[in-house]
Copies of this chain bind each other. A is one copy, B any other.
Amino acid sequence: MAFDRLIRNIQKMSNPTVAGLDPKLDFIPGFIKERAFAQYGDTLEAAAQALLDFNKGLIDALYDIVPAVKPQCAYYEMYGWQGMHTLQQTIAYAKAKGMFVITDGKRNDIGTTMQAYAAAHLGNVQVNGKELMPFDADALTVNGYLGSDGIAPLLQICKQRDKGIFVLVKTSNPSSGELQDRLLQDDKTVYETIGAMCEEWGSDDVGEQGYSSVGAVVGATYPEQLTELRQKLPHTFFLVPGYGAQGAGARDIAGAFDHNGMGAVINSSRGIMCAYQKQGVDEREYASAARREALRMRDELNSVR
């Protein structure tokens, strides 16, 4: 079961952090960009090369202390198919270093089409009889608005190929409550309802650590709901965004963990990627600044779990 692997990584490093890889050009040190522009001109190829160099530097600095990375698809699509090439190379590079890779794509569609997304991000395709793996992450974030038949193809691939999914339950953004907090006629909120579906969808595939292959995205910016959902969803592993740049602190995170201090992985993207700016060090030190911030975050998280 994929999240058993993630949990073993977390235990080994005593660190429940996932480093978000959201490499906008604005965040990337000038020396990396200039090298890419010199080689490829002012093109999407240059942007894609800069993203890849930046990511590799971060992964090299983090892989022995951070158990997982989460590339956010939007920041790769933003640089076209060339950026998507960097996504594929980033996933392969991080996996080769032993990191657990969560592609943050929030994909969703009807059953037949979801099969294609599942094949793209977690599975394989046949080309003239040859099996090829297009992106091959360990887990994918998905949106459950379409209901069970949009999730079913993912469950199949999770079982067959030792993969996981994280379904959006309660997101970290300011307006997440507009729909997610609304009460249904059974006095349950929309987020609670989707959360209960996660427990059900995962019930066939529970690993040795007690968590199923169906996780949930629950924002740290809503600590009450995070605590509520941790209690109500005992087999659902959490991916928790919102720490750091979005405003949540370690105290807000505490409710994400179960009584063993497990059950959740906490994301930091800009906090780690852009640590060199916050620390005021030379941009060439961006990787060691990221490592310092990751160690600080690890110790802070461990103080509350």
Contact = CB atoms under 8 A, between A and B. Distances in A.
Interface of A: 22, 24-25, 33, 37, 42-44, 46-47, 72, 74-75, 77-85, 87-88, 106-111, 113-114, 116-117, 119-121, 125-130, 132, 134-135, 143-150, 168, 171-180, 182-185, 190, 193-194, 197, 241, 246
Nearest to A184: B182
A174 B182 CA distance: 24
Given A184-B185, A185-B183, A147 B176 contact: yes
B74 A85 contact: no
25 contacts: A25-B127, A37-B128, A42-B132, A44-B127, A74-B107, A74-B117, A75-B116, A77-B116, A77-B121, A77-B134, A79-B134, A80-B88, A80-B132, A81-B85, A81-B88, A106-B108, A108-B108, A111-B173, A145-B145, A145-B168, A145-B171, A146-B173, A150-B173, A179-B190, A183-B185
A239 to B, nearest CB: 14
A77 B120 CA distance: 6
Contacts of A132: 42-44, 80
Choose among A33, A121, A174 the residue with the greatest number of B CB atoms under 10 Å from its CB. Answer: A174
A173 B174 CA distance: 30
In the complex this chain forms, how many copies of it are found? 2
Q: Which of A47, A134, A177 has the most CB of B within 10 A?
A: A134
Contacts of A33: 128
Given A106-B109, A149-B175, 5 more contacts: A42-B127, A42-B128, A79-B127, A108-B143, A182-B185
Contacts of A79: 120, 125, 127, 134
A271 to B, nearest CB: 14
Given A77-B134, A80-B135, A109-B74, A175 B147 contact: yes
Contacts of A168: 108, 145-146
A134 B77 CA distance: 8
Contacts of A178: 147-148, 197
Nearest to A74: B116
A146 B75 CA distance: 18
Given A108-B106, A134-B44, A113 B72 contact: yes
A80 B132 CA distance: 9
A111 B143 CA distance: 16
Nearest to A25: B127
A145 B143 contact: yes
Shortest 3 CB-CB contacts between residues of A and residues of B: A147-B175, A147-B178, A80-B134
